[in-house]
């Protein structure tokens, strides 16, 4: 299984964002995980599409855009136009999930669905033949630096079984570090989001250590 790594921009130094994004790219990351928060779906606020469009100008890395917002349908077109390569929306959001998937596909962007820790994987079943990514939250969304919720591992296994032979990436976000990485990969995750762990210290060294753990 080809495991991809997606450093989370949430943990970058926002005073030196261009520098950090170029370092992510140089380190060989597969995606940049871009967390979008609206202050309603989660308590925090990050950035809007205009700011993301500016980031798109300074890096060629694929943008994996995670919409933690109540009404994603209003903003899908704008984030697609701002340079998103993948857009994932929460099944717990207020909007119709099918309409969100259709809007993402219409813009030529890969669609994905996100599950918060308390949501059952069974809600994904109607959409499995339409999506390119499933994102399982290993923590409650909205804040960086939380500890991995142990029950997530069983959800990863259940999700991997549901996916079967479909070409769907199974992404996990939250609490992934040098200690938890091996567990989530063994359970079936093939896209790993990590913020605090990768951005603390030297990105290139941390990425190399991640790759070594994955290969083992």
- Marked catalytic residue, from 20, 35, 95, 169: 35
Measured CA to CA, the distance from residue 56 to residue 97 in angstroms comes to: 27
Contact at 8 Å (CB) between 153 and 175?
no
Among this protein's residues, is 173 annotated catalytic?
A: yes
DSSP 109-158: -EEEEEE-TTS-GGGGGGGTTT-SEEEEESS-TT-SSPPPPTTHHHHHHH
- Marked catalytic residue, from 64, 95, 169, 173: 173
Among this protein's residues, is 118 annotated catalytic?
A: no
Which residues on neighbouring strands pair with residue 33, listed in sequence order? 8, 64
Contact at 8 Å (CB) between 95 and 73?
yes
**Which residues are annotated as catalytic?**
35, 173
């Amino acid at each position: 299984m080809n495991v991809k790594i997606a450093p989370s921009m949430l943990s970058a130094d926002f005073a030196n964002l261009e520098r950090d994004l170029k370092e992510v790219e140089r380190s060989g990351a597969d995606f940049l995980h871009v967390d979008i928060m609206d202050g309603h779906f989660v308590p925090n606020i990050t950035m809007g599409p205009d700011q993301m469009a500016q980031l798109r100008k300074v890096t060629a890395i694929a943008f994996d855009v995670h919409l933690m917002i109540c009404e994603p349908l209003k903003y899908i077109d704008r984030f697609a136009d701002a340079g998103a390569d993948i857009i994932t929306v929460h099944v717990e959001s207020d909007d119709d999930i099918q309409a969100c998937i259709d809007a993402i596909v219409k813009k030529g962007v890969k669609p994905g669905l996100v599950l918060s820790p308390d949501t059952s994987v069974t809600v994904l079943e109607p959409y499995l033949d339409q999506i390119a990514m499933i994102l399982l939250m290993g923590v409650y969304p909205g804040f960086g630096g939380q500890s991995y919720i142990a029950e997530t591992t069983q959800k990863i296994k259940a999700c991997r079984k549901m996916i079967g032979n479909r070409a769907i990436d199974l992404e996990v976000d939250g609490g992934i570090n040098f200690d938890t990485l091996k567990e989530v990969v063994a359970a079936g995750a093939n896209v790993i989001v990590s913020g605090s762990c990768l951005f603390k210290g030297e990105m290139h060294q941390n990425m190399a250590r991640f790759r070594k753990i994955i290969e083992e």
